[in-house]
Amino acid sequence: MRAEQLASHLASDLAPLYVLHGDEPLLVIEAADAIRAAARTRGYSEREVLVVTQYFKWSALTEAAGNMSLFGGDKLIDLRIPTGKPGREGSDALARYAAQLPTGTVTLVSLPQMDWKAKKSAWFGALAGAGVEMELNAPPLERLPDWLAARLARQQQSAPRDALEFMAGHVEGNLLAANQEVMKLALLHPAGALTLEQVRNAVMDVARYDVDDLRQALLAGDAARAARLLDGLRAEGVAAPLVLWIIVAELRVLAAARAEMDRGRSADDALAAARIFGARQSPYRRALARLSAAAPRTALMQAARLDRMIKGVARGDVWDEFLQISLRLCAR
């Protein structure tokens, strides 16, 4: 199935098994989100996430399939294999699973880009043959401007062709980066037509590196540096919604990982469930060890109030509130 066919498929049907793979994480993530949302609307009220790491026990997949939903409804099993290599035991387990899919269950398998050898493996063939397989790759560079135009249209914005080509050249085929630039334009400008100058200024805004520095300072618990960066961002006139967006993105990762840890999972597995893998886990792992269990959720509630302040429906000093959230996240 092609990516553009998924929405119409989910509007009328829901397969018992979906296999997502490709070279573009954003498209895999969005397809998985769409499948999960469709499952929820059809009464699949429980979701169990299984992340295949080095010490993963494949019996967990069998147990997940056999356990009834705690809430009396149907169940979604969200199986993620970040390496795309389940090993011998996993290969056998997946082939057996595909041969006898559990009833009352939708299974979602997320994989990275698969080479020709992996696609010809018995386990992959069994999964693909038992359900819906989707290969989700980034569009070629010449089609990226059209992809950007479609993304802008979702947020009621448009841009001339030269602006779209400028954005496409800047992100160099990285759709995650491209999507972030599109979202940034929604934060910086209202709905309507954008100019080349507006797009160029947003994409080339050097202050965005300071915003990323703020993210790093918060994860490291460096309160003094975070305060200095906030002062600098305010002085440069960086849009408050952009700063909030960066902070909330990190809070959501920390809150999601903490929730998984509260269910008994290790920090590494919890972060993998929140889509943070490999070397990227280190600063998050240290932040989780430093922060109290309730800190990410409390900061998210504070961020919701800050969002209302930015929109003018709550009173207060926006930048002082940024500082308060930052100090909460830097607590030791």
Question: What pLDDT score does 95 carry?
Answer: 95
Average pLDDT, the chain: 88
Dist. CA 282–CA 150, nearest whole Å: 35
Question: Domain 3-135 falls in which CATH fold?
Answer: Rossmann fold (3.40.50)
Residue with tokens 């819906």: 132
pLDDT at position 205: 59
Q: Are 43 and 72 in contact (CB under 8 A)?
A: no
Identify the pLDDT of residue 209.
Answer: 47
Which secondary structure element, helix H or strand E, spans residue 193, and what is its range? strand 192-193
Q: Which residues does the chain have with pLDDT short of 70?
A: 68-73, 172-173, 205-210
pTM above 0.85, yes or no: no
pLDDT at 179: 86
Q: Residue 207: what pLDDT?
A: 47
Domain 141-203 has CATH 1.10.8.60: yes
pLDDT at position 97 is 95
Question: In the chain, what are the domain boundaries?
Answer: 3-135, 141-203, 207-329
Neighbours of 19 (CB within 10 A): 25
- Distance from C-alpha of 64 to C-alpha of 249, rounded to nearest angstrom: 30
Integer Cα distance of 60 and 225 in angstroms: 43
Do the domains 141-203 and 3-135 match in fold? no
pLDDT at position 132 is 96
Overall size of the chain counted in residues? 332
The reported pLDDT for the residue numbered 87 is 92
For 58, the 3-state DSSP assignment is coil
CA distances from 290 to 158, 245, 264, 287, 296 (A): 43, 23, 18, 5, 11
Structure tokens at 89: 């035991």
Fold for domain 207-329? Zinc Finger, Delta Prime; domain 3 (1.20.272)
